[in-house]
Amino acid sequence: MLRAAVAAGSDLGRRVEGVMASGGLVDDALMAEVVRERLLQPDAAGGYLLDGYPRTLPQAETLAGILADAGQPLDAVLLVDVPEDELVRRALLRGRGDDKEDVIRERLRVYREKTEPLIGYYRERGLLREIDGNRPVEVVTSQMFAVFGIEGGAQG
């Protein structure tokens, strides 16, 4: 969504570009504007999947407000659960320059602190759907599609 906002060349995109170019993180308020604008696009009218947003409780509350204003209920939140040691192993296999074990473990610490509380938030609201992510990609993909009643999984 952020790259698309920048590519669109809108005022919002220029503000996002300025933050990204400086190496900063897009703050919650600006991110909420990006999400709100993106969900108003015609291709989102039939449904959408947000990946990586929200990441914090304040962002989840902002998203709830955005969806309430739009009259769009949240259908489900997917938790693809993978043991931490397996996440580290997979990240190390990618071989990217910043994929050092200490860096990966720090990302996971930040996840536990900032994002993991969303599990309880969405579970309490009856929206959390948990998937065992420590299975073959085809199985995980099929389970993800099943949450939304889509048949065929990766083939469809």
19's CB contacts (< 8 A; 6+ apart) are: 25, 26, 27, 30
Name the CATH code of domain 75-156 (choices 3.30.160.20, 3.90.420.10, 3.40.50.300, 3.40.640.10).
Answer: 3.40.50.300
Residue with tokens 């397996």: 86
> pLDDT tens-digit profile of 44-72?
988 899 998 999 999 999 999 999 999 99
> pLDDT tens-digit profile of 75-132?
999 999 999 999 999 999 998 888 899 999 999 999 999 999 999 999 999 999 999 9
Q: Please indicate, yes or no, whether the overall pTM of this predicted structure exceeds 0.75.
A: yes
Domain boundaries, the chain: 75-156
> pLDDT tens-digit profile of 17-44?
998 888 777 899 999 999 999 999 999 9
**Number of other residues whose CB lies within 10 A of the CB of residue 112:** 11
- pLDDT at position 150 is 87
